[in-house]
Amino acid sequence: MNFEVIADNIPKLLQGVGLTVELVVLSVFVGFILAVPTALARVSRMWWLRGPAYGYIFFFRGTPLLVQIFLVYYGLSQFETVRTSALWPILREPYWCAIIAFALNTGAYTAEIFRGAIEAVPSGQIEAARACGMTHALAYRRIILPQAFRIALPAYGNEIILMLKGSALASTITLLDLTGMARTIIARTYMPVEIFLAAGLLYLLLTFIFTQAYQVLERHLTRHVALQR
């Protein structure tokens, strides 16, 4: 085991950690914005809202993330209209393609988590809200959604960790995230065991820090429930 190689390449690997964190934060943020309306559409009684939401979730949960990244990064360039459009400067960058693919992917999983949470809000509360004269929208805003978010918290934390691990796929479209950086260093030094070990430890550290921080957040957001017990 050659620890010198690890020490020499730590700055580069940390650079990779930076990109990994950046990709995950942006994708999770955009994914959240996608997920809320999708979840609402998914539980809607209107078929023309429910249908597309179901199709979106079904496609992105049923296919590998790798296919989705390749479809966005390599696939879209097949169309002349895309290549000549105003969006091309964005769609030709692997960075934005990764974020688009990750966000669409995590958005679908998150929407399904939120759907479950919305359906888990006791129906008696919704009836009570209606009986108090709240409109459908108001009941959603005041009664259903705040509780649904709380119910969804544990599963949502898992989804963010899955996204963190999925972000390693960014390395397949030339991005130098933690995995990409590790692969580049290995191509130069031929020391796979050492470098992968270092990268693995950094991933474990990232997951550990995230789970600890998330636990604090979860306790903070559910403290009114904890008090009742």
Q: Which residues sit at the interface with another protein, rule CB under 8 A? A: 58-59, 62-68, 70-71, 74-79, 164-169, 171-172, 179, 182-183, 186, 192-193, 196, 199-200, 203-204, 207-208
Question: Minimal distance in Å, beta carbon 66 to another protein?
Answer: 4
Question: Minimal distance in Å, beta carbon 191 to another protein?
Answer: 9
- Residues 6 or more apart whose CB falls under 8 angstroms from that of 163 comprise 24, 27, 28, 31, 102, 105, 106
Which is nearer to another protein, 40 or 97 (by Cβ)? 97
Q: Which residues in 133-164 are b (16+ Cβ under 10 Å) and which e? A: ebeeeebbeebbbebbebbbbeebbebbeebb
Question: Minimal distance in Å, beta carbon 71 to another protein?
Answer: 5
Number of H helices, E strands in the chain: 12, 0
Which is nearer to another protein, 72 or 129 (by Cβ)? 72
Which is nearer to another protein, 63 or 125 (by Cβ)? 63
Residue 121: both structure tokens together: 């809000």
Which is nearer to another protein, 145 or 170 (by Cβ)? 170
Nearest-angstrom CA–CA distance, 19 and 70:
19
